[in-house]
Amino acid sequence: MPKEQSIQDYPRVEIDFSPKIPPLQKIKDKTKINVRYCLIKPFAFVHIYWDSRTYELAYEIEEPRLNEEETVCKEQMISAMKNIIEHETVVQKDGNALMDYIDRRFKILAVELGVKLSYESYKKIYYYLCRDFIGFNEVEPLLRDYFVEDIECNGAETPIYIVHRIYRNIRTNIVFNEISKLESFVEKLSQRCGKYVSYANPILDGTLPDGSRVNATYTKDITSKGPTFTIRKFTKTPWTPPQLLSFNTLSPEMLAYLWLLVEYKMNILITGGTSSGKTTLLNAISFFIPPEARVVSIEDTRELNLARENWLPSVVRGATGVEKLGEIDLFTLLRSSFRQNPDYVIVGEVRGKEAYVLFQGMASGHSSISTMHGDSVDTVIKRLETPPIELSPTLLNVLDCVCIMTHAIVNKQETRKLRSIVEIINVDSKGIARTNTPFTWNPSDNKFYFKRNSKIFEKISERYGIRMEEIELEFRRRVQLIYKIYQQKIFEFKRVQDTINEYYKKPEQLLRKFGVE
């Protein structure tokens, strides 16, 4: 477009903040990795490649480069717009309306300030205005990357790191060089979380509007490199059971076993270290809940996503303001959930007094699935028996099964595994557990092993009056069905849920369709 054309006549720039997700493949040899894909179309891209100088993977955000004149204009516009755009306006408007709003304000200010720009310059500056006012400044492209799980900033003058779903921990080319800019960014995070952060209250723990979890510090007093933040991104479409099978996180036998446990309302606790895949497994096995069942979920941060209608999701509400008023914690939500007539109660993570309510609910017949930090059954029992939880050891007998997730390095690749499934047979008054372990993963050969005697199958047989032969036949059928679903690459969220629901309604018909005998 000619430079003489008035800025007011420029068409609005089209920006797509959610471009198509590219197919990425795992490459065993990291030195061969060299991929580039779009994050914000058509302005922001990422280039992931092996950097031979640092001898590690690099994650470089590529955005439009501004010349000196464009940089001055951008800063001028951002400064002027800050005075006329209110935070509430940004939060309340939808994306398209906001881009219209920014487009109009940009044009008005450009005319008022006598700014003259070519359309190419206008497009680039408009992108940065949208990125900074609608999104999260330099970090926005990272948040838009489907493959990024965590974003970690350790302070000023240090690169931001990300955890990539395929390539794991990588250093980025984004650095906050000034502490004041980093402080301003943490303030923005707190505003978007609806929280309050200051020198008096320097720790932020909140949730962004999209469900992503934020933990940040505000001052140099508690983190020597200045403000820090970690964002655990919310996954809108969680991994399905066949996808976990494709990652070799677990075996078809493990999934079929957990399917039977969920159907017959056994109580399951998923344990493991930080980021070991506990919530991922929790989401995956929730696919097995019968379609007509009523589900109530309680979480600190919204991470569950169930493809069902009869589901009541509850999320903790943190205290607001200096007075710390209005807090609704897990304990309160869980206690009230049992009055909502649930068939299944799912708790994102237990770590305090809410565990007592959860186990009382299990004892009164409410099937419960939850997660907890701990790398073994003994560790979990010790945590449950000691403060702040302090459960009676005999109450632990209502727990049927513990799934232990773990981080593992296999063929020099970081991965997550369901290390073992442990059945709780009995916990005595001294807190000593008698257990049975029907499923284990062997790290030496990277294979899953299972033994046929399951105490929980015996429990299901006694409780529901079903012969063991029938349970074992059903188990074998479901192993085959899950493997067929995986072979046919049925990975899509709704399609997987519809297939499982169809099995509950028309099992013989579905088994014939997949050729399972």
- Taken in order 390, 394, 397, 403, the sign of the CA dihedral is positive
What integer pLDDT is reported at residue 89 of this predicted model? 54
User: What is the SS3 assignment for 131?
Assistant: helix
The band of 325, judged by pLDDT with boundaries at 50, 70 and 90, is low
DSSP states along 19-38: PPPPP----SSGGG-EEEEE
Mean pLDDT, rounded, for 166-174: 94
What integer pLDDT is reported at residue 47 of this predicted model? 98
Q: What confidence tens digit (pLDDT) does each residue in 185-211 have? A: 999 999 998 888 988 889 998 888 888
Mean pLDDT, rounded, for 154-162: 96
Alpha helices by DSSP H, 364-428: 377-385
What integer pLDDT is reported at residue 3 of this predicted model? 46
State the chain's mean pLDDT as an integer.
90
Closest by Cα among 236, 20, 13 to 127: 13
Sheet with 213-217: list strands edge to edge: 34-40, 44-51, 56-62, 168-175, 159-164, 148-153, 228-232, 213-217, 203-207
What integer pLDDT is reported at residue 179 of this predicted model? 93
Closest by Cα among 425, 407, 427 to 417: 407
Q: What confidence tens digit (pLDDT) does each residue in 355-380 have? A: 888 998 898 889 999 999 999 999 99
Mean pLDDT, rounded, for 459-484: 96
Question: What percentage of the chain exceeds 90 in pLDDT?
Answer: 64
Contacts of 508 by beta carbon, 8 Å cutoff, 6+ apart: none
What is the bridge-based pairing of β-strands 268-272 and 295-299?
Answer: unpaired
Contacts of 6 by beta carbon, 8 Å cutoff, 6+ apart: none
What is the bridge-based pairing of β-strands 367-373 and 268-272?
Answer: parallel
Closest by Cα among 62, 58, 59, 23 to 40: 62
- The pair of structure tokens assigned to 177 is 């060089």
Let me know: does 438 contact 431? Beta carbons within 8 Å: no
What integer pLDDT is reported at residue 1 of this predicted model? 41
Mean pLDDT, rounded, for 334-343: 86
Rounded Cα–Cα distance for residues 389 and 383 (Å):
7
User: What is the SS3 assignment for 173?
Assistant: strand
Let me know: does 472 contact 457? Beta carbons within 8 Å: yes
Let me know: does 50 contact 33? Beta carbons within 8 Å: yes
Q: What confidence tens digit (pLDDT) does each residue in 241-278 have? A: 999 999 999 999 999 999 999 999 999 999 999 889 99
What integer pLDDT is reported at residue 85 of this predicted model? 65
What integer pLDDT is reported at residue 322 of this predicted model? 47
Rounded Cα–Cα distance for residues 360 and 395 (Å):
8
Burial group, residue 63, by CB count within 10 angstroms (0-12, 13-18, 19+) = middle
pLDDT at 137 over 60: yes
Identify the residue with better confidence: 235 or 314.
314
pLDDT at 422 over 90: yes
Closest by Cα among 244, 10, 273, 18 to 140: 18
Name all domains of the chain by residue range, CATH numbers in brackets.
Answer: 1-137 (3.30.450.380), 147-234 (3.30.450.380), 241-513 (3.40.50.300)
The most confident of 303-317, 325-339, 408-422, 444-458, by mean pLDDT? 444-458
Q: What confidence tens digit (pLDDT) does each residue in 53-107 have? A: 999 999 999 999 999 999 999 999 998 888 766 555 555 556 788 888 899 989 9
Identify the residue with better confidence: 141 or 29.
141
The band of 116, judged by pLDDT with boundaries at 50, 70 and 90, is confident
